[in-house]
A = this chain, B = another copy of it.
Amino acid sequence: MSETLENGRRLSEELNPGMEATLEERYGHLVPGMAEAVVDFAYGRQYAREGLPLRDRYIATIAALTALGGHTAPQLKVNIAGGRKAGLSQQEIAETIWQMALYGGLPAAINGLNAALEVFSEEDGLA
């Protein structure tokens, strides 16, 4: 197994336990190798990189998905949850999202806050 795949697997399991297996089960019959490609590229060759702490990487991701618009709401919610695990406070996440009013417009920022509220209320429900 290549080093990037190994690193990607370790990090992916830490952040989203079971994700590779879920992708494989859901999409593997249609797109063989897709789950491994996600783990290798997104986790092994991106999130596992040095030079920017994981917490900061989640700021970047949450900002981008908010600005790109609400059609990425499922992924935005996954990454808000991931950002919490990586050490971001609810406030830091909300600030990141609200700032996107400047770049993606008000509707995108408000849709992003709605996604955050959903994640945070699940969190609090589990607490």
Please report A residues at the B interface, Cβ cutoff 8 Å. 2, 4-5, 26-27, 30-31, 33-34, 37-38, 40-42, 45-47, 49, 51-52, 56-57, 59-72, 74-75, 90-92, 94-96, 98-108, 110-111, 113, 116-117, 120
The CA-CA distance from A68 to B104 in the complex, in Å, is: 8
A96 CB contact (under 8 Å) in B60, B90, B111: B60
Q: Do A40 and B30 have beta carbons less than 8 Å apart?
A: no
A59 touches B67 (CB 8 A): no
Complex: A2 Cα to B40 Cα, angstroms: 11
Smallest CB separation, A65 vs chain B (Å): 6
Q: Roughly how many angstroms separate A40 CA and B3 CA in the complex, as a whole number?
A: 13
Task: Give the residues in chain B near A51, CB-CB below 8 Å.
Answer: 91-92, 94-95
